[in-house]
Structure 1
Amino acid sequence: MPNTPPSTSRPPYRVWLGRVADHLHKYPDDHPIQIALRTYVLGLFLSLGPPVITFAISSRVRKKGLQSLLRAFKRELNVTGFAFAMTVAVGGGAALQKIWQLSAADDLSLGLITLPKCVPCVTFNRTKEWLSKLKGSHKTFLSYAASASVAITLLQYPTVRSPRWKGRPSATLDLSLLLLVRAIDSIVRSKVLPSPSEASTKEEKDKARTKRQRQSMTLDAFVFWACSARIMWCFFYEPERLPHSYNKWIMSIANIDPRILGALRAIRSGGWSYIRRFSSQPDMVTSLSHDIGYPPIWGDISRIPAYGGPSAQATWEELGVKTRSGLGGLPCELVHGGVVGSSCIANAWVRGVYAFAEALALYLPVHILPILLTRPRKLLRVSELLNTLLNVLRSASFLSTFVSSIWITVCLTRTLLLARLMPWISHDFWDGPFGCTFAGSLACGASIWIEKGQRRGEMSLYVLPRAIRACLSDRFLKMGKGVRLCERAAFVLSFATLMTAAWHGQDSLRGLSRWTLAFIINGPNAGFWKQKRQDTRPSTPNIPPPSRPCSEQ
């Protein structure tokens, strides 16, 4: 047999990869091996993608060398890394579910074993009988609960053993809260909101679907409003309750001087008082006033009036402030940070425009990338491209309105309206934690109505875990083993609930949950990857395919 010319020979690694691929293609998309591989690849992308992208685009990070990047690879490629742990949870649960189905089909569910009549054996027989009567969804839940228990143990193992995590909140808390929120959403959609699948006729299904969407959008808007109010209040006064990266992002969007935040927090703690004319850091606001081009005395707490009225007017004339007649508290020129001077309307407008530009850079990949990954030809059609760009502009307008509404509400409270109507109330209240900032935190969440209905749901599910985290005190989170066990229970139950919904009731899932789990379970043949799905899997009553693309839900 003649030798193959070197120029056309395939490298050994390609031959090996080809054999592996051919072997894997023998398994259906819903086979545990296929599910485990997709989970591991997706887990690696989610865990290693951010540090790799940051290293690639940030010159400051590259100057520090490869050490941080190598540590990230070492951590995530370990058996205690996110990718492997989630593979154990998803792939292990699928394997247990498959074994359970095969044992039931082959009458191998321990029914052939005859045991003597003793107390342990009677208990075993009763347990076996109880397990044999379980529904398919119950078996799925128990399978994934068992695998999730192993996964959360792996994830928490490095932090439990490491001394530097002693006395600190759990490193897996954010992931557990994320799963908890998604699981609660799935339960609410399946048990509380009307399901179209329960209707008998097409008209009833359409009516039930419309009612469900209307109720869901209202509930999502309320959840987002409540969560955003809590998050923004914590941003002003307790930033340590928010994730560091999230707090940093809000700071960049809000574009507020840290010294103004310091003054607000000092009013809450008693370190700043207009009435007592006291400040624990007297140069905090005077330096701000000097830096933005105003006389330092404008920020002198010993000279600023606490109440409105004629006496305040006399003080401002003495200080040379012409825009705060009849009012107390800091001049708006300082609160605005020198952006546009004294005009509250112009300040809110300029900050809204700045936030709009920031939001375009944020939302453009959010809307474009899913289409590029699933239906890239959609962008070649002018109508579809315009629709996508309009969605980007709509999301950017939402964030812009969110930011500007905070600023204009703050100014309406302390300058334009309420403080003028009630000058006898001191600015220790108007500038305090239940004054202008509290009103701004309550007002900003209403901007969610600018977003489309489907986007409202994703936004509410995005902020809810952070709002829950902001309601948990550090003292509670640092209580140790008891809190860790509660978190493990929440992780296991939430994960099992989501995976059960993915296999037996995908109508209860939506957005990112539905998209991710559909891909993990069904692979490239999931409905959102093809307009007309050709299901090549063997028909199994416990594994219904998605009824339609996730993006259309």
Structure 2
Amino acid sequence: MAPTSTAVRSPARQQNTLRKLEEPIPLLLRPVLRAFILGYGSAVAPRVLTLVLQHVSRLRQRSKNAAAAKGRVDGVSCAPHEPFFVSLGRLLRGGLDPQRFPTFCAALVGGSTLFEVIISKALSTWAQSISPLARIRLSRWFATFTASWLSLTLLQSKPSQAFSATVVEHAEGATSPKEKTIRYAGRSLDLTLFAVTRALDVIVGELWARRKQRRLAAGKSWTAAESALSKLADPAMFATSCAFIMWAWFYHPYKLRRAYYSWIKSAAAVDLRLIKALQRCRSGELRYGEDTGQAPLLQEMCRDYKWPLAWGDPAVAVPFPCEMVHMGRGPSCEYHALARFLRSFKWAMATYLPLNLILVARSPGLASLRKSVKSAARSSAFLGAYIALFYYGVCLARTRLGPHVLGKDTAARQRIDSGICVGTGCALCGWSILIEKPGRVANIGLFVAPRAMATLLPRRYPWDKQWRETAVFAASTAVVFTCVLENKARVRGFLGTVLATVLEP
């Protein structure tokens, strides 16, 4: 029981320490300072960690080169890098840029706090017929809306090379063409979609909770269908989001952020020639029963895996065997799915287990160790099942069920490989979330939902349309902030706790 009591007292002790440190700061400025520190840490800390890891890697490479040179072996010449402390200083100073995320956080929180005081006084003077509770809610909503609009506009004002393009204009009568820089909007799209997702979660959750309260107050029972819908809402949100993300990863990779695309590629461990073949099936470049010049793509894969070259010729193999999808793991689709699960489980455990073991240091003990290992194994099983279900969904459509439902003729095989097989894998993979703890399902679902919504929208759009995104962000943030101040529990996950801590006086 001793470790438990210590763990309970520790956060309270830390909170008291923070309150003592904040005592000299005016009450109105405390949320601003908390928001800036939180934004600065979230923006700078990952970059500093990356810089440290790169520096350690360079030191190791330098020592290897020195050892090789000492042994009279030619060393690898490396390009000169900026000194570590120079880079560190640049990163630390960059976080203080008024057009970056930390200042955005401070302006958002500080503006909403300041504007609430002003709007509340105005409403108490000009809208006395409105109830006090309604005035408080209106003042909070409009204050946050205004602060959100201004702070996002500040963040969007920073130019970015990724959201600009240079065009050459040929004006009449001009002796030489002129270059013109066109600026695009969309730099803050991910942040906006994150706010939209959270606002929708708050609104839907509140409406559903009120529906339940009305039914119970009226003496009506909460039906089994409604209970099942409540339990399956979060898994369904995650599964639907993953379906859009995986479809985009397969057919429209430019709609995903580069780092996110690369992470999925590492987890999937797929031969890119397979992806190209199925992409060309969808575009019509590769057609079964015809020689369209696409045979070299898969025949190269046949040589690598020592398969018959005829397997890679779409004019002969209709369709190419499912064993090629298994990439050397034999003809059985079920064995391939199991092998995928085990491989992905090991890959995920190498990441999750060390992270979970670090948390054991907070409360050392056998129980904590067992809990950490169990949590890592559960998360790894979820990821392993995700990948296995995706691949098995492809096999279901290509071999196990698809041909028996759609037919085995050439046209049916073309339809299956033109998108049905990939779509089946996309639809199945996300349901692996049922392996995870119910408490984590909502957090994971709310993490992937904005990324799924981003696949339906252009990453860049005309600059003059940016006000629409700004208005959506402002309205969504106003909903979330207003809800946090009235009912913290309604804003689910870690975000609700963080916002409640930042916004409290």
> TM-score scaled to structure 1, two decimals?
0.71
Distance in 2 separating the partners of 1:520 and 1:367: 27
RMSD: 3.6
Native 8 Å contact 2:289 2:316 kept in 1: no
Deviation at 1:21, TM superposition (A): 9.8
Aligned twin of 2:23: 25
Aligned twin of 1:181: 197
The letter of the residue matching 2:449 is: L
Native 8 Å contact 2:47 2:91 kept in 1: yes
Distance in 1 separating the partners of 2:499 and 2:227: 21
Is 1:428 the counterpart of 2:418 in the alignment? no
Distance in 1 separating the partners of 2:149 and 2:226: 34
Is 1:479 the counterpart of 2:462 in the alignment? yes
The one of 331, 338, 352 equivalent to 2:321 is 331
Distance in 1 separating the partners of 2:429 and 2:229: 22
Is 1:389 the counterpart of 2:373 in the alignment? yes
Aligned twin of 1:158: 158
Deviation at 1:191, TM superposition (A): 2.4
Distance in 2 separating the partners of 1:192 and 1:147: 29
Native 8 Å contact 2:184 2:462 kept in 1: no
Is 1:468 the counterpart of 2:450 in the alignment? no
Alignment gaps of 5+ in structure 1: 1-19, 112-124, 307-328, 523-536, 538-553
Aligned twin of 2:170: none
Aligned twin of 1:149: 149
Deviation at 1:480, TM superposition (A): 3.1
Native 8 Å contact 1:217 1:457 kept in 2: no
Aligned twin of 2:424: 439
Distance in 1 separating the partners of 2:123 and 2:435: 58
Task: Kindly report which structure 2 residues correspond to 1:492-507, keeping only aligned pairs within 5 A, or say none.
Answer: 492-507=474-489
Distance in 1 separating the partners of 2:127 and 2:159: 36
Distance in 2 separating the partners of 1:110 and 1:139: 8
**Residues 387 and 195 of structure 1: CA distance in aligned 2, closer, same or farther (over 3 Å):** farther
Distance in 1 separating the partners of 2:312 and 2:183: 40
Is 1:490 the counterpart of 2:472 in the alignment? yes
Native 8 Å contact 1:277 1:302 kept in 2: yes
Distance in 2 separating the partners of 1:173 and 1:27: 34
Deviation at 1:253, TM superposition (A): 0.7
Distance in 2 separating the partners of 1:61 and 1:485: 44
Native 8 Å contact 2:123 2:135 kept in 1: no
The letter of the residue matching 1:258 is: L
**Secondary structure, in 3 states, of the residue corresponding to 1:342?**
coil
Aligned twin of 1:312: none
1:404-451 C-alpha deviation (Å, 9 max, x unpaired): 011112112212343256323542112111x21111111112212112
Is 1:345 the counterpart of 2:359 in the alignment? no
Deviation at 1:381, TM superposition (A): 4.7
The letter of the residue matching 2:109 is: V
The one of 88, 111, 129 equivalent to 2:107 is 88
Aligned twin of 2:234: 220
The one of 15, 34, 46 equivalent to 1:38 is 34
Deviation at 1:198, TM superposition (A): 9.1
Task: Kindly report which structure 2 residues correspond to 1:90-109, keeping only aligned pairs within 5 A, or say none.
Answer: 90-98=109-117, 104=121
**Secondary structure, in 3 states, of the residue corresponding to 1:330?**
coil
Native 8 Å contact 1:194 1:211 kept in 2: no
Is 1:450 the counterpart of 2:439 in the alignment? no
Aligned twin of 1:140: 140
**Secondary structure, in 3 states, of the residue corresponding to 1:432?**
helix
The letter of the residue matching 2:380 is: A
**Secondary structure, in 3 states, of the residue corresponding to 1:158?**
coil
**Residues 129 and 364 of structure 1: CA distance in aligned 2, closer, same or farther (over 3 Å):** farther
**Secondary structure, in 3 states, of the residue corresponding to 2:195?**
helix
The one of 362, 384, 393 equivalent to 1:400 is 384
The letter of the residue matching 2:23 is: H
Distance in 2 separating the partners of 1:200 and 1:302: 65
Deviation at 1:182, TM superposition (A): 0.6
Task: Kindly report which structure 2 residues correspond to 1:62-81, keeping only aligned pairs within 5 A, or say none.
Answer: 65-66=81-82, 73=92, 75-81=94-100
Deviation at 1:267, TM superposition (A): 0.8
The letter of the residue matching 1:193 is: A
The one of 353, 360, 367 equivalent to 2:349 is 360
**Residues 384 and 35 of structure 1: CA distance in aligned 2, closer, same or farther (over 3 Å):** same
1:309-359 C-alpha deviation (Å, 9 max, x unpaired): xxxxxxxxxxxxxxxxxxxx1123322223x23332222112111221232
Distance in 2 separating the partners of 1:51 and 1:346: 42
Distance in 2 separating the partners of 1:517 and 1:251: 34
Native 8 Å contact 2:488 2:497 kept in 1: no
1:361-401 C-alpha deviation (Å, 9 max, x unpaired): 444477667x67xxx65x33543543343233222211111
Distance in 1 separating the partners of 2:373 and 2:394: 32
The one of 48, 51, 56 equivalent to 2:52 is 56
Distance in 2 separating the partners of 1:110 and 1:184: 27
The one of 480, 488, 513 equivalent to 2:495 is 513
The letter of the residue matching 2:39 is: G
**Greater CA drift, 262-271 or 135-144:** 135-144
**Residues 384 and 214 of structure 1: CA distance in aligned 2, closer, same or farther (over 3 Å):** farther
1:49-90 C-alpha deviation (Å, 9 max, x unpaired): 222222222469857734987765554321000011111101
> TM-score scaled to structure 2, two decimals?
0.77
Task: Report how many residues are paired.
Answer: 444
Native 8 Å contact 1:360 1:393 kept in 2: yes
**Greater CA drift, 449-458 or 211-220:** 211-220
Aligned twin of 1:285: 298
Alignment gaps of 5+ in structure 2: 1-17, 59-77, 166-180
Is 1:416 the counterpart of 2:432 in the alignment? no
Deviation at 1:521, TM superposition (A): 2.6
**Residues 490 and 355 of structure 1: CA distance in aligned 2, closer, same or farther (over 3 Å):** same
Aligned twin of 1:321: none
The one of 246, 252, 263 equivalent to 1:238 is 252
**Secondary structure, in 3 states, of the residue corresponding to 2:289?**
coil
Deviation at 1:197, TM superposition (A): 9.1
